[in-house]
Amino acid sequence: MASLIHAAKGVTTPARLAPQKIHSIVVAPLSGESPKGGWSAEIKPADSVHALIAVHTQDGLTGYGSVFADGRLVQAAVDVLEPLFAGEDALQPERVTEKLHQNTFWMGRGGSLTHAISGIDIALWDILGQTVGLPISQLLGGSYRSRVQPYCSLLMEEPAKMRDTLAVYSERDGFRAFKIGWGPFGRALDTRLDEAIIRAARDAVGEDSKLFVDAGACDAHWPHGLKWAMRTADMLAGYGVDWFEEPLRPDSIDDYCHLRRVSRVPIAGGEVLTRRQTFLPWLSRGAFDIVQPDVTKVGGLSEQRRIAWMADDFDVRYVGHGWNTGVGVAADLQMAAAFPHVDYVEFIGGSAYVDGILSEPFVIDAQGYLAIPDRPGLGVALDRDKIARYSPNAAALFSV
């Protein structure tokens, strides 16, 4: 009866999209110019900490994703997942990736499998967007903005070098927001060095630029606790720092809740958490002012958007953790367009895997903003020759 009524009113029922069955998933670990992370066990250029993923369909479509993990782990995870995704419809990203999560619980939730699923999920959304001719932001519910401010993410240095480094990215590249982190901050015996670094940074970027500070307390054997974080937050407030990130060990939820209540500086964190369920106690208990899930390891766009909306319900700001690749930045930009209160995206300063793998690199405009791609899917194109410099498996990303 309903179909007859629609027909009588001249309503045409759209044809259902033909399935795009997954033919294969290719992993391309990136190495050769891996950026330093400031970690205790420092990253070497030849180390793999990021991998690209290509999902190929039987009809010749390809979508791309990014994973924040050693490429060897990503490849092993894809091999384990293959019986679950083979022949699945690439146009159903949430259903397919939830299937991968639900059927691998017994191998560990939130680890390398979840990281790999993140890249697969991003690639599936990319395929869906290409198929329907829309950017992912619109598929996620709509676009609130066409551009967003990137903050240049840099390692901390000794004060003089910190000042010089920040001046380069401000004057040459046009950034108007900066995050400095890790390095010697909180790790030197002389705690006066922490304030000297912040003073130098503020001098370099000026009073009109945004400045964020990342202690990196998820690093191995972080030496400080709540009292250090409270004293340091007070110091940072004096320099107009806009948020204090990862000031405590990543499992110290009680301390985070207390710090947030007493700190004059907003408290940010969450980059080491994965899966939406893990974020719920942190949000419901008020541990963060700003939550920072990472789309390349949290479970992909499908999981990231649920966390972002959940954060909004608890009046917590969402700013994605984006220490990743050009593909990861593209996913972050689509997320930034799809939510009402997103001010920033993270952008690693000087990373070859961000600046050096796209056919058209990102360009910061005169106001210090990035345009959000409005082409179908992720809206960016990879450059085969550029990627070949960093991955022996580059060719397989582009051919079924």
Residues annotated as catalytic (active site), given as ranges: 321
Q: Residue 303 corresponds to which tokens in the numbers above?
A: 């999981």
Q: Residue 362 corresponds to which tokens in the numbers above?
A: 């990102």
Whether 40 and 219 have beta carbons less than 8 Å apart is answered as yes
Q: Which helix (H) or strand (E) holds 211?
A: strand 210-214
State CA 93 to chain mean position distance: 18
Q: How many CB atoms lie within 10 A of CB 281?
A: 10
Angle at 380 between CA 301 and CA 43, to 5 degrees: 70
C-alpha–C-alpha distance, residues 114 and 259, integer Å: 30
- Cβ neighbourhood burial of 7 (10 Å; 0-12, 13-18, 19+): exposed
Phi and psi at 309, nearest 5°, equal -70, -35
C-alpha–C-alpha distance, residues 56 and 110, integer Å: 25
Whether 291 and 61 have beta carbons less than 8 Å apart is answered as no
Q: Residue 190 corresponds to which tokens in the numbers above?
A: 């002389």
Helices (DSSP H) in the chain: which residue ranges? 2-8, 71-85, 93-102, 112-132, 136-139, 159-171, 192-205, 226-237, 253-262, 276-284, 301-313, 326-337, 352-355, 384-388
Q: Residue 178 corresponds to which tokens in the numbers above?
A: 């900066």
Of 180, 188, 169, nearest to 215 (Cα)? 180
Of 340, 346, 299, nearest to 317 (Cα)? 340
Residue count (the chain): 400
C-alpha–C-alpha distance, residues 38 and 32, integer Å: 17
